[in-house]
Structure 1
Amino acid sequence: MSLFPNLWHHRKVADTSAKGCEVCYKPSTSVLITPENKDFFYVCPSHLKDKGFCSPIVDHEAAAAKRKKEMDEELEKIKKEYEEKQKKKKEKEAEKKDDKDKEKEKEKEKEKDEEKKEDTKSNDKDTTKPEQKTEEEEPRIFALQRTFYQQRLDRKRQAEMAKKNRERLSNPNFFPSVPKGMP
């Protein structure tokens, strides 16, 4: 039975709390920690991208749900815009029927001009809209490669053994007592 699973969450700490990377000893603010907080170590972000050190664990279900939500929001937005355009067209058609033929021709020209203006405005709105993040977020969960994981387990076991030895040495009953009788 292993002490903890090979599942590590990536966390960031404050710049003032930066410590040396476990691999290259450069100061780093990135920390890999187990879910139960049993073990942690500092690591450079560049090592997280190295396939020889660790591999990211991607939650495909969560990513798919996020994409679906974005698509649904965009679909609703497009539907609303379409409905608004249809309402405007119906209102203009009703006005045209009431007016004379000359006024109908003038309004058609105005309508075409307005539609062109609206199309250019909607295109302008899309271009002025701040770009959403096209980059996917960095993975947050990693699995260490076998050798690095085994090193972490060995280090944790050695620390536990050292703690037990210190406790034994601090206990006076651990050492044999001085003989009381004559030899």
Structure 2
Amino acid sequence: MSIKNLWHHRKVADGSAKACWICYKPSTSVLITPDNKDFFYVCIGHLSDRGFCQPDADEAAAAAARKKKEELDLEIEKVKKEYEEKQRIKREKRKDKAKEKDKEKEKDANKTDEEEDKSDEKTKDDKIKELSKSKDQAQVDLGPRIFTLNKNFYQMRIDRIRNAEAAKRNRERLSNPANLPSPPSGFP
């Protein structure tokens, strides 16, 4: 039985992390064959190592396109934030002019302005946290998802499968008493 040298990258839950096949560090990334006959855990750093595996050409191009789109989305988000900041500054200047006209109203406006500033800062911090989380997750997802192993590593996987099949056949043979030799029937 031979498996095709095509491996899909999958992620598992953090609680299901197991040792990397190469460095034995806990990893949540798995390379699996399309027919689900073989799989192994591997670190993300090894996936970018050219000595270990290469991404599929079409998949690499698609990953580059996804990365470019993600960069454009981040740039758009940055421009929107700058625009909102400029608008907020303009509103504050208008409020300052209104405050100069009426000092009593100024005290009330300061309270509301402080509350608005605090709420604006909280929303800003929340947005930054969300963007950083989505950015980290996007960086993991940006990479290619289909790989081919280098010749030596692929041969190691084939050997492992063959050895497992041979061990299974040997266990079956030993469990069947008909395959064992019979004891001698005559006296010596």
> Shorter-chain TM-score category?
0.5 to 0.7
CA distance change for structure 1 residues 159 and 126 in 2, over 3 Å: closer, same or farther?
closer
Instruction: Give the equivalent residue in structure 2 for 1:169.
Output: 174
SS in structure 1 opposite 2:21?
coil
| 1:117-137 deviation per Cα after TM superposition (whole angstroms, max 9, x unaligned) | xxxxxxx99932899x89782
- Structure 2 gaps, min length 5: 70-75, 82-126
SS in structure 1 opposite 2:5?
coil
Q: 2:80 corresponds to which letter in structure 1?
A: T
CA distance change for structure 1 residues 146 and 125 in 2, over 3 Å: closer, same or farther?
closer
Instruction: Give the equivalent residue in structure 2 for 1:37.
Output: 36
TM-score of the pair, normalised by structure 2: 0.57
Instruction: Give the equivalent residue in structure 2 for 1:128.
Output: 80
CA drift at 1:180:
3.5
Q: 1:39 corresponds to which letter in structure 2?
A: D
Question: Residue 10 in 1 paired to residue 29 in 2?
Answer: no
CA drift at 1:176:
1.2
Instruction: Give the equivalent residue in structure 1 for 2:26.
Output: 27
Q: Percent identity?
A: 62
- Structure 1 gaps, min length 5: 71-123
| Conservation of the 8 A alpha-carbon contact between 1:58 and 1:139 | no
CA drift at 1:178:
2.2
Instruction: Give the equivalent residue in structure 2 for 1:138.
Output: 143
Aligned residues: 126
Determine which structure has the larger helix proportion and give its number.
Answer: 2
Stretches (4+) displaced over 6 A: 133-136
CA drift at 1:53:
0.2
CA distance change for structure 1 residues 169 and 6 in 2, over 3 Å: closer, same or farther?
same
Larger radius of gyration: 1
| Conservation of the 8 A alpha-carbon contact between 1:6 and 1:149 | yes
Q: Distance in 2 between matches of 1:178 and 1:9?
A: 53
Q: 2:156 corresponds to which letter in structure 1?
A: Q
CA RMSD of aligned residues (A): 3.4
